Homo-oligomer: A and B are copies of this chain.
Amino acid sequence: MRIGLVGTGTVGGGVIEILEAKATAYREKLGVNLELACICARTEEEVAPFKAKGYTTSTDAMSMIADPSIQVLVELAGGYEMPRQWITAALESGKHVVTANKAMLAKYGHELFPLAEKKGCHILFEAAVGGGIPIIRSIQEGFVGSEVEHLSCIINGTCNYILSRMTEAHLSFEDALKEAQAKGYAEANPTFDIEGVDSAHKTALLASLCSGKYVDFEKIHVTGVSHISAEDIENAKELNATIKLLGLYIRSEAGVDARVHPCLVPNNHLLANVNNVINAVYLQCDNLGPTLQTGAGAGRLPTASAVVADLVSLARSTDSGKRLPMPMGWFNKENAATLVPIEETSARYYLRFTTRDACGVLASITGIFSENRISIESIIQKGVTDPGKVSIVVVSERTEERKILSALKAIDALAAVAEKSQMIRFLK
Contacts and interface: CB of A to CB of B under 8 A. Distances in A.
Nearest to A26: B144
Contacts of A312: 141, 144-145
B138 A32 contact: no
Interface stretch (A216-224, A293-301, A388-396): A293-301
A324 B317 contact: yes
A132 B313 CA distance: 21
A322 B305 CA distance: 25
A164 to B, nearest CB: 13
A222 to B, nearest CB: 27
Interface in A291-342: 291-296, 299, 301-302, 304-309, 312-313, 315-317, 319-324, 326-327, 330
Interface string A106-147: 000000000000000000001000001110011001111110
A18 B290 contact: no
A53 interface: no
A428 interface: no
A289 B306 CA distance: 12
Nearest to A268: B273
Binding site secondary structure of chain A: mixed
A380 interface: no
A29 interface: yes
Nearest to A296: B289
Contacts of A190: none
A288 B296 contact: yes
A287 interface: yes
A299 B289 CA distance: 10
Contact of A301 (B134, B142, B288): B288
A270 interface: yes
A145 B131 CA distance: 12
B137 A29 contact: no
Contacts of A330: 29
Query: Which of A288, A289, A324: most chain B Cβ within 10 A?
Result: A288
A134 B143 contact: yes
A296 to B, nearest CB: 4
A308 B141 CA distance: 10
A324 B313 contact: no
Q: Which 6 A-B pairs have the closest CB atoms?
A: A134-B142, A145-B308, A145-B305, A291-B295, A321-B322, A320-B324
Given A143-B309, A317-B324, 6 more contacts: A132-B288, A141-B313, A145-B305, A285-B305, A286-B301, A322-B322
